Structure 1
């Protein structure tokens, strides 16, 4: 009788130990997920938080276990930004029954938040947070490529239809110009011809934005490329009271590029930087810094200015064809630049904050002299 009791007790202990081992194993898995995990029980008390979530909140794990939501929001080291986001998620989950949320944090990263609750959770609330910044970047790139492809179809259909009548109008105006000159109205002819030429320039830029010509590549050193490009901008920068500074760059960095196209991209970015500086100049000393450094098999060329900067809404549309904030801009310069860099197997990114200036980063594959 006693031996049967001891055997049953031993089996119970072994079963408990086995269950505990399984529990520890799964808890260890949850602790090291790349997603943040929070678990609140049916009373609203935080019973589990993994390492990743503690890092995201920038709070020590042990100070959070046992807290309810109100205590979490009142944590002395929780930032005001995170307090607002947590409160918003709670409000939308409880009152609007939303289970999926997307937000951008103070560092510009995109997060997908999923809240699981209901009968399957026995009253508990499971909240998981995943960084989806890379997916958003891929989505944005695909969206941009789709728009450029559509732009190409439109331009192919209408470009010649516009150019042909413009050419005829220009020819007739030139024929009429001597008669207008006799009437003292030559100024009219000059203005008409100038406006027709401007329309042709816009059409040309429009066509290039949809399908820039294939790169005619040559191997050049990055320092010489940037020095030559700066020489083309120095006089304009001087007139606008803007200092340009080229950082020290490794002479061995080589790229295989269409020099004319890449210069076009960099000059366009520099011109935008000058205009951004003009908006806030006054006593403000304008500065454009250009540099380049190797990152793996790529070289990152940066153009940084201390101009007016841009807000996040503007940044999301920056490479859209025809989007511009300039009174006389066509909105094609940066969309053309995007396409040129893509055709070279590179990427172009921008980081900016209103009132803090802007940084453009062009990444191009390095090459080796054969």
Structure 2
């Protein structure tokens, strides 16, 4: 009888230990997921939080277990920015009963928060947060490509509709030119013809900018390319109180590019940098640094300024067609630059801090 009891007790202990091992295993899996997880019970008390979520909140895990929402918001270590996002999450998911809430953190990363509460959860609330920055970037790139394609079609239609009447007007002015010469007003004809030609040039530039032509590549030294671009902008920079400097570039570093198109991109970047510095004020000492570095099979050309900078929201729309912060800007310069670099199988990236300046990094394949 005693032997049977001991055997039953031993089996119970083994079953308990086995269950505990399984639970520890599952908890270990949850702790190391790439998604942040929090679990609240029916009373609103946090009963579980994994390592990832604690890192996102930038708070110690042990200080969070047992907290309710109010205590979490009053935690001495939580930032004001994160407090606002948690309140937004609560409002969207609990008050408005939405299952998902998308937001951007203070570092410019995109996150998708999902809340699960159902009968299967026994009254508990499961909050999970996943980094969706890569998916957002892919989505933004696809959206931008669609807009650029539409822009190309619109540009072609506009160019066709405007060029035809301009050609007719130009022809009639040439026919009328002898009569204007007789009246001593031949300069009128010349002014009209030159203005029509200028309008045609503007249309051509707009059409070309919205749909850059296939690159006509040739091998060029990065050092000589940057030197030439800086020489072209140096005098204008001095007039605007800016100083442009080039960090030493290895002479053997070469790229195969359409020189005209890449110059257009670099000149646009430097011009933007000068305007950003100019907006800070005349007393500000403007600095523009141009640099090229080798990274595996790519050359990273960077243009850094100490201008007014941009916030994360503005930075996210930077390469979108027609987006501009300038009063007289078209919003085409950076979207065209994006397309040109993409056509060269390269990438273009921007980072900025409001009030501290901006850096653009253009990555292009090395010449083989």
TM range (shorter): over 0.9
For residues 194 and 16 of structure 1, what CA distance do their matches in structure 2 show?
93
1:269-288 matches, cutoff 5 A: 269-288=269-288
TM-fit CA distance, 1:190: 5.6
Compared CA separation, residues 128 and 187, structure 1 to 2 (3 A)? farther
Name the structure 2 match of 1:297.
Answer: 297
Name the structure 2 match of 1:2.
Answer: 2
Matched positions, count? 368
Name the structure 2 match of 1:48.
Answer: 48
> Within the alignment, does 1:112 sit opposite 2:112 as a pair?
yes
Name the structure 2 match of 1:154.
Answer: 154
How large is the Cα RMSD of the aligned pairs? Answer: 2.2
For residues 270 and 37 of structure 1, what CA distance do their matches in structure 2 show?
45
TM norm structure 1: 0.92
Q: Which moved more, 1:271-280 or 1:128-137?
A: 271-280
TM-fit CA distance, 1:76: 1.0
1:179-194 matches, cutoff 5 A: 179-180=179-180, 189=189, 192-194=192-194
1:296-315 matches, cutoff 5 A: 296-315=296-315
For residues 283 and 233 of structure 2, what CA distance do their matches in structure 1 show?
22
For residues 74 and 300 of structure 2, what CA distance do their matches in structure 1 show?
43
TM-fit CA distance, 1:87: 1.6
Determine if contact 2:307/2:358 at 8 Å carries over to the other structure.
Answer: yes
Deviations 1:267-318 (A, max 9, x none): 1111122222222232111221111223333222111122233344433333
Determine if contact 1:209/1:339 at 8 Å carries over to the other structure.
Answer: no
TM-fit CA distance, 1:186: 6.3
1:328-367 matches, cutoff 5 A: 328-367=328-367
TM-fit CA distance, 1:24: 0.8
Q: Which moved more, 1:219-228 or 1:324-333?
A: 324-333
Deviations 1:26-53 (A, max 9, x none): 1111111111111112221211111111
Deviations 1:38-96 (A, max 9, x none): 11122212111111111111111111112222111111111111111112211222211
Compared CA separation, residues 181 and 121, structure 1 to 2 (3 A)? farther
TM-fit CA distance, 1:138: 1.0
For residues 190 and 360 of structure 1, what CA distance do their matches in structure 2 show?
43
For residues 13 and 270 of structure 1, what CA distance do their matches in structure 2 show?
73
Determine if contact 2:350/2:360 at 8 Å carries over to the other structure.
Answer: yes
For residues 180 and 242 of structure 2, what CA distance do their matches in structure 1 show?
44
SS in 2 for 1:323: coil
Compared CA separation, residues 317 and 175, structure 1 to 2 (3 A)? farther
Deviations 1:225-248 (A, max 9, x none): 211211111122122221101122
> Within the alignment, does 1:321 sit opposite 2:321 as a pair?
yes
For residues 52 and 163 of structure 1, what CA distance do their matches in structure 2 show?
60
SS in 1 for 2:280: coil
For residues 286 and 99 of structure 1, what CA distance do their matches in structure 2 show?
48
SS in 2 for 1:219: strand
Name the structure 1 match of 2:172.
Answer: 172
Compared CA separation, residues 307 and 159, structure 1 to 2 (3 A)? same
Deviations 1:314-345 (A, max 9, x none): 33333233333444433322222111100001
Q: Which moved more, 1:308-317 or 1:160-169?
A: 308-317
SS in 1 for 2:288: strand
Name the structure 2 match of 1:32.
Answer: 32
Q: Which moved more, 1:64-73 or 1:202-211?
A: 202-211
Compared CA separation, residues 40 and 195, structure 1 to 2 (3 A)? farther
1:25-104 matches, cutoff 5 A: 25-104=25-104
TM-fit CA distance, 1:354: 3.6
Name the structure 1 match of 2:245.
Answer: 245
For residues 342 and 105 of structure 2, what CA distance do their matches in structure 1 show?
28
Determine if contact 2:306/2:358 at 8 Å carries over to the other structure.
Answer: yes
TM norm structure 2: 0.92
Name the structure 1 match of 2:209.
Answer: 209
What are the ranges of 5 or more consecutive residues in structure 1 without an aligned counterpart?
none
Name the structure 2 match of 1:228.
Answer: 228
